[in-house]
Structure 1
Amino acid sequence: MNRSKLNWLLAILAVLTLTACSDSEEQATAKPAPVHFESGDECHVCGMAIGNFPGPKGQAITEKEQQVRKFCSTKDMFAWMLQPENVNRDHTLYVHDMAQTEWEHPDDTALIDAREAFFVVGSDRTGAMGPTLASFATEDAAHNFMMEHGGQVLSYSEITLDQLNTGMAMGEMPGAHEMESSSTGHTMDH
């Protein structure tokens, strides 16, 4: 084999190796898709049958092992996720977008990334464990729900374990979005 053919062969081999490595990295960092809630699924926190209760549900998928944990309510998902041993682990979290599904039987086609969602706390709607955090893909949808059912709008990062554990009245949660009236309607401050 002459030297120029050998150089071409080595160049092609190098390109293929680099391409294979980048494909593997992309697959390793790709976010896992949500899974459907099945009849008989039990909540990872309380053991209750998930399908027997209304309101948004949650799920956590560990990115390394692809292990799925399902929760009967968004409140239980946060209670688990915010534990010291879980808070810094890589998880993909999903919740139902309640603007896209009915409260009594949420549809799994409406699962959204929990870290990008907005939550209404302290509303008059209940879930599996009583008060729950109604989840929405947009702040506007959360605001509309809040106007009808009460409560306050929080982003994912504003929800803390202390708030869940103390039983603090939802209306007293620090960092909650405040409502202001204006002549053109209602707006939220961040």
Structure 2
Amino acid sequence: MRLRMILLTVSLVVLAGCQRSPEEMPAPFAMTEDAMGRYCGMNILEHPGPKGQIILAKYDEPIWFSSARDTIAFTMLPEEPKDIRAIYVSDMATAPSWDDPGVDNWVNAKDAFFVIGSDRKGGMGAAEAVPFSSGESARAFAREHGGQVTSFADLPRDYVLGQDSGTASYGGLDKQLLDADNTN
């Protein structure tokens, strides 16, 4: 009986060690040629500008986005899953260029500084929320390309969901986002 209790205790400890802690934030994934955009269904490496990835609790692979703006929109849409463990966006402060935002230079979206309303367009040719790991880099970008610097928490919902973005279409996403947003 004592041996059985010891084995049961050891088994429970091992199983507990295998389970992910909900507070533990997973590391970002590097972009590969297999990364397909959630809303556009296209290879995200084929598009310029910042990208994003969201890691959900129930999956071991990220959901990819062809723009940082799409990534943020996912978090605002009521029909999308809410068991988000991590949100990463391209760190444009360390990106080789706009056309090559990098495959492994990610910043936690909640810690990023975003430039909205700039003259740069995202991966699908629409307004973008350009992410940076440093406020200084974001302000320098805004001086050169226009726009304003904001935090993840202060991103205007209307800008992210397309109403104030100055674009009529975002690969069809603006209409989808507006329709979803207006059903609430």
User: Any idea what SS the aligned residue of 1:141 has?
Assistant: helix
Distance 2:131 2:84 in 1: 21
Q: 1:61 is matched by which residue type in structure 2? A: I
Find 1:114's aligned residue among 109, 134, 155: 109
Q: Percent identity?
A: 34
Partner residue, 1:144:
140
Kindly state the Cα deviation for residue 82 of structure 1 after the two structures are TM-superposed: 1.1
Kindly state the Cα deviation for residue 16 of structure 1 after the two structures are TM-superposed: 7.4
Q: 1:96 is matched by which residue type in structure 2? A: S
Give the number of the structure with larger relative contact order, counting CA–CA contacts within 8 Å between residues 6 or more apart.
Answer: 2
Which range moved further: 55-64 or 82-91?
82-91
Unaligned runs of 5+ in 2: 167-184
Partner residue, 1:34:
28
Matched, 1:66 2:60: yes
Partner residue, 1:126:
121
Distance 2:165 2:47 in 1: 22
Distance 1:45 1:94 in 2: 17
Kindly state the Cα deviation for residue 127 of structure 1 after the two structures are TM-superposed: 1.8
- The number of aligned residues is 161
Partner residue, 1:44:
38
User: Any idea what SS the aligned residue of 1:145 has?
Assistant: helix
Kindly state the Cα deviation for residue 113 of structure 1 after the two structures are TM-superposed: 0.7
**Deviations, residues 133-159 of structure 1 (Å, cap 9, x unaligned):** 110012221111111111011111112
> TM-score normalized by structure 2?
0.73
Partner residue, 1:92:
86
Richer in strand (by share): 1
CA RMSD of aligned residues (A): 2.8
Unaligned runs of 5+ in 1: 1-5, 7-11, 171-190
The structure whose Rg is larger is: 1
User: Any idea what SS the aligned residue of 2:36 has?
Assistant: coil
Kindly state the Cα deviation for residue 107 of structure 1 after the two structures are TM-superposed: 1.3
Q: 2:146 is matched by which residue type in structure 1? A: G
1:112–1:83: structure 2 CA closer, same or farther, 3 Å change rule? same
